[in-house]
Amino acid sequence: MKTILKEFFFCVILILTISLSSSTAQGQIDQYVVLIPTHTTSGEYSGDYDLKGTKVYSDGYIRWGAGTPKPISEMQVREYDPSAIPDGSGGMFICYTIEHTDEENGGDHDIVMRHIDSEGADLWDDSLSGAVLLLAQSEHLEVHPHLIPSADGAIVLYEVEYISGAYKGEVDVAALRVDGNGKLVWENAIWVANSDRHERIVDAWSDGYGNAIALIQRNNNSDKGTFSGDLVAVKISSEGITGWGGAKGNLVVVAGSPHSEENPAIVPDGQGGAFIAYELHYTSGTRAGDVDLIAQHLTVNGDRLWLDPENPPVISSNPRARELSPSITADSAGITVAFEMVFDDDKAKENSLRVVAAQRMDQNGYRVWNGGDKPQVILAKNRGVEKPIAVSDRNGGTYIVMEGVDSATGDRDIFAQYLDKNGKRSWGKEGYSLPVFFGPMPESNACATVDSYGGLIVVAVEGITYRLESTKSNDSTIIAQRMNSKGEATWGGSDANLILSRCQIGEYKLKLIRTK
């Protein structure tokens, strides 16, 4: 049996004196933590992965982690792929995967969890591993955790990848529950999905009653080598019981067909259910190779609501383009879905033109913008655009954040556009999207949210920096900006970005968590 030594689990936490800037006394101030998965690429710890963070307020005040991000987890293992939720008191629960690098257990992956307060200090100190709770460990690989709030703690979902035995090569989904003190609530982990197909967690949400609902992609590789995937949902109660009850059984099919349903995005509907947007990949017939976008509304009871055969919930289906990478947001009137449209100029799908588009669907699953005939196209001048993020302004409008790519130089920058409730592009000359950040350096890996006043907050990674002596550094810069409803930057002073911190960034995405 493997063990994790207590001394391996330490975190240098600087306890800062509580002192707020004078500006925080005026009005509502939101608080955010930017979780930064770092990857050391040189020196003694080259190859290591750690978790660090910076805390910033909605007025641009950096509470901690300025310049150099605060260590959250720096163990003698590789830490990556975090999932985090607020604890309701200004802190947060963080669950992540660790990869062992020692001679005995090297290559094994387990799931651990920790609880930090509003200053980034550990709150659990009585678990078997000190401040870190070891959740899932076996001779197989436990990876890809998802945290869902439940009472004062969380339900933790994760994947188990079998590396030996009769089930070698298969992937199943399991769950357990942890209370606010770091104690396991259920005696053992439970299986959420463990059929003979590969099950992967796509996302999960709370039903508002302490239970979790997991959206799972089931993949099947047939003997003929063809790929297909379906989307199913499983309810996990706070008592550790899976299933919907009655005739529904353990799971409900959200989307299934002879083709392949993939890459879904979800947003809770505020009533315990969720809206789901996903890619439909045609695997046969005259449309083989094409991709459309479809939506569905799943209730808290596991019922699909958008089933009109005369008007199916198709977000976009352009015969000349593949629609990909949906991002979804919701308000009281319906959903907005932003996505990529890829126009290929040859069969090899090379030299493709990528644009971002968005469509509005009402509460019944019917398309709204442009009479439902076509989506609203979003452009950046002289750039291709991709990787959209849709964020509701909570007042009927939608912010769209995306990467703009210069096809000649390969330079990447972050752009944003605001669509009003009718889909009208409101920012930029001639409707072209605005750059979010200032300066010549490339930007990527954006995450975004909206604050209590409807302002757009964007955090991104600025490319490798250059020192005064003109030598290249291994550090990237984490930058942030807030844009008001007019598209004006409000952080960082005149023509400047808000610099959060500098560090070596890994391939895992930044996480932006509102903690208060």
Q: State pLDDT tens for residues 470-480.
A: 555 678 899 99
100 in a structural domain: no
Pairing between β-strand 384-392 and β-strand 476-483 as defined by DSSP bridges: unpaired
Which amino acid appears at position 449 of this protein? T
Question: What's the total number of domains in the chain?
Answer: 1
Closest C-alpha to 278, from 301, 250, 300, 304: 304
Query: What SS3 class is residue 129?
Result: strand
Neighbours of 418 (CB within 10 A): 22
Instruction: Summarize pLDDT for 130-156 with one digit per residue, the tens.
Output: 789 999 999 999 999 999 999 999 999
292 in a structural domain: yes
Neighbours of 279 (CB within 10 A): 23
276 in a structural domain: yes
pLDDT lower than 50: segments of the chain: 1-25, 222-225, 467-469
DSSP letters along 23-35, please?
GGGSS---EEEEE
Provide the edge-to-edge strand list for the sheet that holds 353-362: 322-331, 334-343, 353-362, 376-378
Q: Which domain holds residue 345?
A: 257-435
Neighbours of 104 (CB within 10 A): 8
247 in a structural domain: no
Judge contact between 399 and 391, C-beta under 8 A.
Answer: yes
410 in a structural domain: yes
314 in a structural domain: yes
Judge contact between 438 and 483, C-beta under 8 A.
Answer: no
Q: Which residues of 137-167 are buried (b: 16+ CB within 10 A; e: fewer)?
A: bbebbbbbbbbbbbeebbbbbbbbbbeeeee
**What's the pLDDT at 473?**
65
371 in a structural domain: yes
**What's the pLDDT at 40?**
82
Residues whose CB falls within 8 Å of the CB of residue 39, separated by 6 or more in sequence, listed in order: 48, 49, 504, 505, 506, 507
Q: Distance (Å, rounded) from C-alpha 204 to C-alpha 211?
A: 10
Q: What is the DSSP letter of 375?
A: P
442 in a structural domain: no
What CATH number should be reported for the domain holding residue 395? 2.120.10.10
Q: Distance (Å, rounded) from C-alpha 232 to C-alpha 221?
A: 17
